[in-house]
Amino acid sequence: MTVREEALMNESCITDDQLLVTPEEAARRLSVGRTTIYELMASGELQSVNIGRCRRVPVSSLSSFVNRLIGDAVVEQRRC
């Protein structure tokens, strides 16, 4: 099995009912880089939790972050 096939299999196992995702998965879902996710977590713009030594991002936090971005964009458009 190739690396790509394995990645596709792992991706298909991910369900929408997940509560927490890795920073890498959060980056993939938002179409940004992993570094950007860590910067957002460090600034407090994106909530995350520690489970042992693992950092996880609540899926609800991703939705809240996107909703804030949309709200900010709407406010900015009204100003123009």
Q: Three-state SS for 51?
A: strand
CB atoms within 10 A of CB 64: 14
Q: Residues 53-60: what's their mean pLDDT?
A: 97
pLDDT of the residue at 36: 98
Q: Hey, which CATH number is domain 16-79, 3.30.70, 1.10.10, 1.10.3470, 1.10.8?
A: 1.10.10
Categorize the per-residue pLDDT at 44 as very low, low, confident or very high, splitting at 50, 70 and 90: very high
Q: Based on C-alpha coordinates, what's the Rg of the chain?
A: 15
User: What are the residue boundaries of the structural domains of the chain, listed by start?
Assistant: 16-79
pLDDT of the residue at 11: 56
% of the chain with per-residue pLDDT over 70: 78
